[in-house]
Structure 1
Amino acid sequence: MKIGMIGTGNMGRILVEAMLDSQAISPKSLLIHNRTKNKAEKLKEAYTDIAVYDDCIELAKEANLVFLCIKPHDTFTVAKEIAPYITKDMCVVTITSPINPEQLELFFDCSVARIIPSITNRALSGVSLFSFGNRCSEEWKKTLSILFEKFSTPLIIENNITRVSSDIVSCGPAFFSYLTQRFIDGAVEETDIDSITATKLASEMLIGLGELLKKGYYTLPTLQEKVCVKGGITGEGINILDQKLGNTFNRLFQATHHKFEEDLDKVKKSIFIEKGR
């Protein structure tokens, strides 16, 4: 099977690296195209057997499975461009949350899907969020699941929880890395610890926390109970977090969903423009 990647920006590159490092696919089976060619060429430097294409149409002609790893407002322009070369036995996948499979089906007669990856997939872990089009064959559903199981945990989601699921899985690492950096900065500003030591301690703590949860030793609530001794130091810290965080995360999800609605409107306009041409 030949897999084509249109777009090798941040998430496109992460997806390529996860697939190759997990040995889910071989470099010889991978075809890539990027509007800025040097980004694609950098990937080829690391994986020399990758084929770099100057034209997304030529890539589409050669691939069996095509990933659209591009921004929402560019997706339907590219979709319209490659559609004449996509046959019914192929599959096209978008990795961006504002594009749903039914919208892709307006441009393609083949199997389509939306798969939202996470930066954690680069470490061959974490979740990938699956949504299938109405015409997606059982064979392609199975093929995609087997492919992504090599470096993630595939999870099928409904459209109504796409944004919040993506917030947790895809945006979550950025949110919690920000909180961790503030945690480190506070330690450095208020005590004699240096930034390098604090960062090392915090990083190892997060890795250990992940292992505790992964191995099922504790749930999040029971972990807090185990560490938070009544009248102890951890309890004092939890009290501060409880007082100051308030509805911060409620507001976070409100903001991401508001931006998502804006993106959905832009996507609908983009479809109207491309279908009208």
Structure 2
Amino acid sequence: MNWGIIGTGNMGKVLLHSLTTSHAVEEENLYLYNRTLMKAYELLNQYPNVHVERSLTNMANKCDVLLLCAKPKEILEISKKLQPHIKKEQLVISITSSISTDHLDQILPCKTARMIPSITNQSLTGATLLTFGKRTNTMDQQMIKQTCKLFSNPVEVNDDNVRAASDIVSCGPAFLSYVLEDMIQSVEQETSLKREEAVNFVETMVIGFGRLLEERHFSLETLREKVMVKGGITGVGMEALEKEIHNSFNQVFKNTHQKFSAEKEMVEALTLEAKMNFSG
């Protein structure tokens, strides 16, 4: 089975690395396309056996599964260009939350799915969020799940929860990186600890923290309780966090959902326009 990645930006590269490193898809069975072709060709230095194609038509003709790794508006444009060349037995997968399988179903005649990856997949861990289109059958769904299991923990989500789940799974690493970077900057400002030392300590702490959760030694709640002795130094520090950070993520999720709603309105309008053009 041949897989194609259309769009070799950040997440396209993550999927390329995850699929090949886990041997979910061998390099010889992977095809790449990018609007700026040189960016795709540059990846041959690291993945010498993948194929780079010069057109979307070639991608449609050679791939059984196509991953659309682009912004919402671009995914719709790509779908319209693919439409005359796609056969009903092929599978097209969007990696963007605001592009639902229903949107793809209205433009494309084939099977569709949505697979939202995370940068954590690059280390063959973390989650992938899956939604299946109405034309996929049980075998299609199992194939996608089994492929994703080789580099992640696949979780099926519906349209109502896809944005909230994506905020945690896909955006979460960026949010946590910001909080940790703020910790590093603050310790620089308030103590004599040098930045290089602080970065090393934070990175080591986060790796150990993740391992404690992975090995089920603690839950988030019990880990905090274990570290925070009543009346101790950690408790005093926690008081400051409760004042400054508590509920701050409420606004984060409000912002992401507002952006999501705006993107969905744009996608709905463009999908309707594309559907009318095809029917006309």
Aligned-partner SS, 1:105: helix
Q: Which amino acid aligns with 1:28?
A: E
Alignment deviations for residues 170-216 of structure 1 (CA, whole Å, 9 cap, x no partner): 00000000000000111111111111110010001001010001111
Residue number in structure 1 paired with 2:121? 121
| CA distance in 2: counterparts of 1:102 and 1:275, whole angstroms | 12
Residue number in structure 1 paired with 2:21? 21
The CA deviation at 1:70 is 1.2
Which stretches of structure 1, 4 residues or longer, exceed 6 Å deviation after superposition? none
Residue number in structure 2 paired with 1:158? 158
Matches within 5 A, 1:110-259: 110-259=110-259
| CA distance in 2: counterparts of 1:238 and 1:38, whole angstroms | 50
**Between the two proteins, what is the percent identity of the paired residues?**
37
The CA deviation at 1:275 is 2.5
Q: Does 1:276 align with 2:276?
A: yes
TM-score calculated relative to the size of structure 1 = 0.98
Alignment deviations for residues 87-110 of structure 1 (CA, whole Å, 9 cap, x no partner): 121111000010000111112222
5+ residue gaps in structure 2?
none
The CA deviation at 1:166 is 0.3
| CA distance in 2: counterparts of 1:104 and 1:145, whole angstroms | 20
Residue number in structure 2 paired with 1:51? 51
The CA deviation at 1:246 is 3.3
Aligned-partner SS, 1:23: coil
| CA distance in 2: counterparts of 1:63 and 1:85, whole angstroms | 11
| CA distance in 2: counterparts of 1:203 and 1:183, whole angstroms | 12
The CA deviation at 1:247 is 2.2
Residue number in structure 1 paired with 2:264? 264
Residue number in structure 2 paired with 1:73? 73
| CA distance in 2: counterparts of 1:34 and 1:174, whole angstroms | 25
| CA distance in 1: counterparts of 2:274 and 2:108, whole angstroms | 13
5+ residue gaps in structure 1?
none
Residue number in structure 2 paired with 1:63? 63
Residue number in structure 1 paired with 2:84? 84
Q: Which amino acid aligns with 1:34?
A: N
Which stretch of structure 1 is more off in the superposition, 261-270 or 170-179? 261-270
| CA distance in 1: counterparts of 2:257 and 2:269, whole angstroms | 19
Residue number in structure 1 paired with 2:2? 2
Q: Which amino acid aligns with 1:116?
A: I
Quick check: 2:184–2:195 contact (8 Å CA) kept in 1? yes
RMSD: 0.9
